[in-house]
Chains A and B, each alone.
Chain A
Amino acid sequence: MIQDLRILVVEPDPKRVRDIVDALQDAGWLDVKALAQISALDRTVKAFSPDIVLIDLANPDRDTLEHISFATETSKRAVALFVDQTDESLTQAALNAGVSAYVIDGLKKERIKSVLETAIARFNYMRQMQSELDAAKQALADRKTIDRAKGILMRQRGVSEDDAYNLLRKTAMGQGRKVIDVANALVTAADLLP
């Protein structure tokens, strides 16, 4: 169960807001804030820092919300969009794209809990995949840099690959830095020369 989530509901209709907030609280999510007015959106997103924002697809404030998400570098925050039409393929496509969750019929009170759980679980899964992918890419890039740095040392000092690596490691330890940082400095310095 995903508890302690901060949820922001952007919805101008007071009755729908009540339904959604009730359903969320019944489902165990207590940290919920509702917002009707676009003018407060910027401040609220910054101050409340929600984990997930719920907004109707038909709500024109979506563009504002998206801009605030870029500006506050919180694009990794889930935005769930409610669509009042029955079209599971759209939800699936959106979920697979991993950016926004389109939640079909989500504004029906009895369904909110289950659709939201699905959306959040899926969002977390995508976020984790993304961070694993980022880490893998970084590791690959680091390895390339270290290989280049080793090559530079091997040429300049006429040492073996192992010795070049040991030299990098010793320098890093001596300076309290990471091997990759030393390698980066070496490669950058080499790139500066014509």
Chain B
Amino acid sequence: MSRIVLNCGYVPLVDCAPLVIAKELGFAEEKGLALNLVRQPSWSALRDMLALGHLDAAQMLAPMPVALSMGLGGLPAAVDTLMVLSVNGTVFGVSNTVAKDLSGVAFGDAQALVSALATRAGRPLRIGVPFHYSMHRLLLSYWSATHPAWQIEEITVPPPRMADAVESGLVDAFWVGEPWGSVAVQQGVGQLMMAGRDVWQFAPEKVLAARHDWIEQNQDAARRLMQAVYQAAAWLDAPKNKPLAVEILARSEHLSVSHDLIDPALTGHLVTRPDSKPKAVERFLQFHKHAASFPWRSQAAWIAHHLGADATGIEKAKACFRSDLYRQNLSEIGVDMPGASEKHEGAMRFETAVASTRGHMILAPDAFFDGRTFDFS
């Protein structure tokens, strides 16, 4: 059987793991795919290469396909989300100077942290984020807006340079994906204050995306890719596979960071300051469990709403999260599907059993730190 060659773009971060595992452990090959992973220097470049047809598919920040559907930033292109690649996995940290004013704030207490920072004297806090259309930036805006008087300045910094940006004083704080938060701690320039999940417990972080017309014309390739990535994600989430996953990611040419920097994100044990023991962060980064890879249309709606979309924009955004394709292409390998494709975002404070095609499935909590809920149906 001749294999289908697929060029898939990615940015070297720990959460590109499902793609790396799909390739390195042969899940893609089993599905008849020759998966070429093509490293991209920036999110803008990745977006352009996908839009211009130089990549067939790509790992994207969850807000990117939604932003494109709203005509925001970059090229006019219709890009769809085939599935979610990862949920959560980002960290918020501050420079050592700022940390001195936060001594009473416990790690992960988003409420206390925002109060302490908002009432802190001095010039507006400069906060580094990797990209304007990222979940990092949307969570930062959502979280900081609970104190409307608090002035912050958003600065885009490529993640590999975040630690240097903190050290040089370009930024006072940062919201970044792993391993770059751990790098800042390891270099002794900052400390971690909370994880993204402390603001939203179940935030879609990266997605697998492809152009709308490419999907139409390559339905078979899209199906194989989704199945291979699904299986890789399932493998990754099994606790017994974590040590091997860390090994593979550290050794593969795709990530080029050392193993002690990959371990925290995959195992959910973060070293939050240089002298401290690792802290267990529940559901720090999820690839598979609790229907993590399901592209909820309500997640797209939440993103669109926070990018300023009106009702029409929200509908368009929902349409680009392809839960229809997810159902169609993954049902045939026996994947359990939720009964609905939208949920009341933020409404689950605990693990909750919901109806699914095979009986019931357990969804993880998806509450926001301020208790708000969002119904876009």
Which A residues form the contact surface with B (CB < 8 A)? Answer: 38-39, 42, 57-64, 66-68, 70, 81, 90, 93-94, 97, 99-100, 102
Contacts and interface: CB of A to CB of B under 8 A. Distances in A.
A39 B132 contact: no
11 contacts: A57-B41, A59-B42, A60-B161, A62-B44, A63-B42, A63-B130, A63-B132, A63-B158, A67-B131, A94-B52, A99-B75
A71 B279 CA distance: 37
* Top-5 shortest CB links A-B: A60-B158, A67-B156, A62-B42, A64-B156, A93-B52
Contact of B155 (A42, A57, A100, A102): A42
B160 interface: yes
Contacts of B131: 63, 67
Given A57-B41, A57-B45, A62-B45, A97 B52 contact: yes
B52 A90 contact: yes
A90 B132 contact: no
B38 to A, nearest CB: 12
Nearest to B77: A97
A81 B156 CA distance: 19
Contacts of B158: 38, 60-61, 63-64
B41 A59 contact: yes
Nearest to A99: B75
Contacts of B41: 57-60, 62
Interface of B: 41-45, 48, 51-54, 73-76, 130-132, 154-158, 160-161, 165, 168, 170
Contacts of A64: 155-158
A38 B128 CA distance: 12
B168 A39 contact: yes
A150 B165 CA distance: 59
Given A39-B168, A64-B157, A66-B44, A97 B76 contact: yes
Contacts of A97: 51-52, 75-76
A60 B74 CA distance: 16
Given A38-B158, A62-B41, A94-B48, 20 more contacts: A38-B170, A59-B41, A59-B42, A60-B41, A60-B42, A61-B42, A62-B42, A62-B45, A63-B42, A63-B130, A63-B156, A64-B155, A66-B73, A66-B132, A66-B156, A90-B54, A97-B76, A99-B75, A100-B75, A102-B48
Contacts of A67: 131-132, 154, 156
Contacts of A62: 41-42, 44-45
A70 B137 CA distance: 14
